Structure 1
Amino acid sequence: MRDRFSNRLGFILISAGCAIGIGNVWRFPYIVGQYGGAVFVLIYLFFLVILGLPVMVMEYSVGRASQKSAALSFDVLEPKGTKWHFMKYVAMAGNYILMMFYTSVCGWLFYYFYKMLIGDFNGLNASQINDEFGLMLSNPFVQVGMMFLVVCIGFFICSKGLQNGVEKVSKYMMLCLLVLMLILAIRSLILPGAMAGVKFYLLPDFSKMQNISEVVFAAMGQAFFTCQAFFTLSLGIGAIAIFGSYIDKSKKLTSEAITVVCLDTFVALVAGFIVIPACFAYNVDPGQGPGLIFQTLPNIFANMQLGNVWGALFFLFLSFAALTTIIAVFENIITMTMEWTGWSHSKTIKVSFVLVFVLSLPCALGFNVLSFIQPLGAGSTIQDLEDFIVSNNLLPLGSLCYVLFCTSKYGWGFKNFLKEANCGEGISFPKQVGFYVSYIIPVIILVIFIQGYISKFL
C-alpha cells in the first residue's frame, strides 16, 4: 500500500521544504542587488506565476495519477509503445548529481553555524574573515567530514519512514525556519540605515536597468529555478512529483501548487529583507555574488552587537533550508530505487547512503585535493560542472519533458492532465491556457536552456 502523509499540512510543508533551498536566501538577494532591486523582483514574480506554477501542477499531477515516483510514473501513464519512460534516467541522474554537490554546500552551512556559535569570528578583521571561507574549502578533512555528517543526518531521518521521519522532522524544521526568518528580518530592518535597503528592494527604479533583456533572462531563470530552489532545483527531476504520489484526490492540485509557490516566494522575499537592509546599513554592495553569504555577511555580523548570536541564527536558518531539501530529495532517491529494484526499505537506505557519500566525494575534494581538475576552464571546480549539468541541462530539459508529456497527444495528453489536476476541491487549472502551456511554455524553457549556454560559454 502506498505511503500517505498524515495530513495536508505535512504535504504542504514538505513540498515547500523541497522547493525552498539555499537559492532562496543565497542567490535571490544578490541577484536582486545585481539587477536593479525592485525592478527585478517584479519581473521575477511575473515569471514565477506564468512559468513555475504550471510546471509544478504538472509534476504533481503525474505523481498523483500514477501513484508512483518518477522511476515508474511514466511507465504507468504513457501510451503503449511510446518511450516517455526513459525520463526515469534523467530523474535518477538529476537527483543524484544534485546531491553530489548540495551535500557539500549544506556542510558549509553547518560548519559556519558552528563557527558563529562558538564565536570563532570574534576579533578577526575583514581580511581574516574573508580568508576563513577559503581555509575551509582547502581543508579536505573539514569538507569530507561535514558532507558525511549531512548525509548521515539525511538518511537517518529518511530511515524512520515517511510519516515518522521525513514528515515529522520536515514540519518542525520548516516551522523553525519561518520563525528564524522573521526574527532575522526584524533585526535587519531596525539597523541604522536599513531603510535605504528597503527602498532599493521595494521601490522600482527603471533607470538602473541598463540591459532589459539581461534582467528579464535573470528573472526568468530565478523564477524557474526558485520553484526548484536553485541548488535544490526540484522541478524536472521528479522531486516534486513524488509528493503528489503521497496525497489523495480531495484537493485540486493548482490550489496545492499555489500554496507551495507562495510559501517559497515568501521565503525568498523575506530573505531579501534579511540581507539587503543589512548590506545597506553597513555600506556593502548586495550584488557582489555568492561570496555575500560566506564572506560579506560574516563581516557584518562581526561588527554587530551580539553578532555571533545573530550570525549563528542566520546560518542555522540556512542549514534548515538546505537540509529540508536534502531530506526531500533523499526520500525521492529511496522511493525511486525501491520501485525500480524491488529492494526493501532497509537495503535501499544502506545502498543509497553509500552511493550518495561516495559520489559526493569529488565535489568535497574538488576545492583541495582534486583542485587541479578544472572541467569548465581555468578556475572552475568539480562543483561547477555538477551544478551546470543539473541546473543548465537536466532541470530545464526534464521540466520540458513533463510539460510535453502532460500536453501532447503523443504523451499523457492535456485532457488527462486536466482531469487529474482538477480532481477535488479548490482552484481549477484553466483549460483556456491549453495553447499557452502546450506551445509557449516549451519555447520559454528552450530559451532559458539556450541562454544558460550563452551566458556560460560566450
Structure 2
Amino acid sequence: MKKRESFNSRWGFILACIGSAVGMGNIWMFSTRVSLYGGGAFLIPYIIFVILIGSTGVIGEMCFGRAARSGPIDAFGMATERKGSRKSGELLGMIPVLGSMAMAIGYTVVMGWILKYTVGTLTGATLAPESVDEFGVQFGSMAAAFGNNIWQVVVLILCMGILMFGVATGIEKANKIMMPIFFALFVGLGVYVLFQQGASDGYRYIFRVDKTALANPKTWIFALGQAFFSLSVAGNGTLIYGSYLSDEENIPASAGRVAFFDTLAAMLAALVIIPAMATTGAKLNQGGPGLLFIYLPNLMKSMPGGHVIAILFFVAVLLAGMTSLINLYEAPIATVQEKLKLGRVPACTLTGIVGIVISLLIQGIVSDWMDVLSIYICPLGAGLAGVMFFWVCGKKYVEKQVNKGREKAFTKWFYPVCKYLYVPICILVLILGIALGGIG
C-alpha cells in the first residue's frame, strides 16, 4: 500500500490551514460588517464564536481526517461502517467533496478578477478610471459572462501547478512563502494608513462599542456567520488537511493557532480598509466584490502613493486567495486519486479541466453560484461531518483521536460541547442562511 502524503513540519501544516481560512471573507466582508454592526459590538460576538468554533469544529474536522487517513467520502464511510452501513456514509461524503469542487470553481472566477487587477496595478490599468462610476463599469465588464477568460485560465494553471507537486513540496512550501508575505504586506499597509490624516476616526469607528448594535440579534447572527465561514468548517478542506497529519501532532494546539492567525488577518484587513476609508470621509457600507474592485481602487487612486499602495494591496489579496483556492481544490483532487487510482499529476489535470470549463461557463452568474454554496452546501457539509464524528463515531473514539499527540488529555467538555452545541450550530447556520439569504 502506497504511503499517504504528509506535511513535513508542524508550521507547514498550520500555515496551510491558515492559508485555507484566510480568504476573501477576511478582506471584503469582515471590514464591512465591523463597520455596519457597531465596531466593537460586532467584534465581541465574533471573537466568542471564533473561540467556540475553533475549539470544536476545527479540531473535530482535523481529528476526523487524521483518524480516517482519507477525505470525506472514506471518513464518512468509516464512521457509518461502525454501524454496519459504509455505503450510506460514502454517499453522504460526496456532498462536502462536490461542495468543495463547486466552491473552488466559483472561487476560480473571483481569483481571475484578482489576478487581472493585480497585474493591472503594475501596468496602470487598474487605477485608470477617473471616477467611481467608471470603476464600476470596468468591474462590470470584467465580471460579465466570458469577460475574463484568459486570467481565469492562468490562475487555475498556477494553482494546479502548485498542487501537482503534492502536499509537502507543493501545498506546504507555497503556504510557507505566501502566508508570511501576506501578513507582512498587510502590516506594512496598516503602518502606512496609521500616519494618514483622518485615520484616527477609522480606529475609533472600529473599536467603538455601539450598545444598540450589541443588543441587535442581527449583529450576533452575522458575527456567527462570519466566524463560521472564515474558519472553513465545511467537512472538506480542513478534514483533508487533517488526513495528512501524523499521530504526534497536537491538533487542539494547532487549531488554536489557526483560529488566532485567521482572526489576526481579518483584523489587519479592517485596520487597513476602515481607516483608509475614513481618511476621505467615506462610509464603509459596501461589501463583497464592489468594495474590492470599485470603491477601494477609487480610494487608492486619490491617496498619496496610491499606485504603490494598490500594488501591495492586490498582491496581498492575490496571495490570500491563492492559498484558499489550493485548499478548495485539494479535497476533490485527493478524492479523484483515491477513487480512480490516479497519480497526483493526472488527478490534478482532470480536476483542472473540469474546473476551467465550468468556471468559464458560470462567469456571469458566479454571485448566485457562490450564494447557493454558502447558504446550503457549506453548513450542510460541516453539520454532516459533525454528526458523523461526534454522534456516529461516539465519545470513546472521539476522545482517543483528539488526545493523540498530547501530553495531557484535552478537556472533558470537548465531546459534549461539540455534540450538543457545535453540531446544532451548524444546523442553525443553515437555517439562518436560508431565512436571511446568506449570513457568510
**TM-score, length-normalised on structure 2?**
0.93
- The correspondence of residues 110-149 of structure 1 with structure 2, limited to 5 A, is 110-120=115-125, 121-122=127-128, 124-138=130-144, 140=146, 142-149=147-154
Aligned to 2:43: 41
Q: Distance in 1 between matches of 2:19 and 2:71?
A: 18
Q: Distance in 2 between matches of 1:138 and 1:244?
A: 37
Which is further off, 112-121 or 150-159?
A: 112-121
Q: Distance in 2 between matches of 1:256 and 1:119?
A: 41
Q: Distance in 1 between matches of 2:347 and 2:401?
A: 30
Aligned to 1:215: 219
The size of the alignment, in residue pairs, is 431
Aligned to 2:352: 353
Which is further off, 422-431 or 8-17?
A: 422-431
1:103-154: CA deviations, max 9, x gaps?
01011111111222222325723332332211222372x4121111111111
3-state SS of 2:296 partner: helix
Aligned to 1:372: none
TM-aligned CA deviation for residue 284 of structure 1 = 1.2
Q: Distance in 2 between matches of 1:11 and 1:162?
A: 9
Aligned to 2:250: 252
Aligned to 2:96: 91
Aligned to 1:300: 299
| Aligned residue identity for 1:239 | G
* C-alpha contact 2:61 2:235 (8 A) present in aligned 1: no
Q: CA RMSD in A?
A: 1.8
* C-alpha contact 2:98 2:332 (8 A) present in aligned 1: no
Distance 1:125 1:238, change over 3 A: closer
Q: Distance in 1 between matches of 2:221 and 2:327?
A: 28
**1:194 equivalent in alignment to 2:199:** yes
Q: Distance in 2 between matches of 1:427 and 1:16?
A: 25
| Aligned residue identity for 1:335 | A
1:383-416: CA deviations, max 9, x gaps?
23321332111111111112222222xx111221
* C-alpha contact 1:254 1:428 (8 A) present in aligned 2: no
TM-aligned CA deviation for residue 264 of structure 1 = 0.7
Aligned to 1:280: 278
TM-aligned CA deviation for residue 53 of structure 1 = 3.2
* C-alpha contact 1:194 1:277 (8 A) present in aligned 2: yes
Aligned to 2:84: 81
3-state SS of 1:240 partner: helix
Q: Distance in 2 between matches of 1:208 and 1:90?
A: 36
Aligned to 1:58: 60
* C-alpha contact 1:239 1:332 (8 A) present in aligned 2: yes
Aligned to 1:266: 264
Q: Distance in 2 between matches of 1:265 and 1:434?
A: 24
Q: Distance in 1 between matches of 2:385 and 2:330?
A: 20
1:139-189: CA deviations, max 9, x gaps?
72x412111111111111111222222211221011111111101111122
1:244-300: CA deviations, max 9, x gaps?
111112232111110111111110111110101001111111122222211111111
Structure number with the higher helix fraction is 2
3-state SS of 1:247 partner: coil
3-state SS of 1:431 partner: coil
User: Which residue, 11, 14, 23 being the options, matches 2:13?
Assistant: 11
User: Which residue, 427, 435, 438 being the options, matches 1:454?
Assistant: 435
Aligned to 1:383: 366
Which is further off, 18-27 or 66-75?
A: 66-75
1:324-348: CA deviations, max 9, x gaps?
1111222222111111111222321
* C-alpha contact 1:91 1:238 (8 A) present in aligned 2: yes
Q: Distance in 2 between matches of 1:9 and 1:102?
A: 26
Q: Distance in 2 between matches of 1:447 and 1:391?
A: 13
3-state SS of 1:2 partner: coil
Aligned to 1:378: none
* C-alpha contact 2:398 2:415 (8 A) present in aligned 1: no
Aligned to 1:371: none
- The correspondence of residues 361-440 of structure 1 with structure 2, limited to 5 A, is 361-364=360-363, 366=364, 382-408=365-391, 411-425=392-406, 428-440=409-421
Aligned to 1:21: 23
Aligned to 1:376: none
**1:167 equivalent in alignment to 2:172:** yes
TM-aligned CA deviation for residue 77 of structure 1 = 3.9
Q: Distance in 2 between matches of 1:355 and 1:53?
A: 35
Gapped regions of structure 2 (runs ≥ 5): none
3-state SS of 2:72 partner: coil
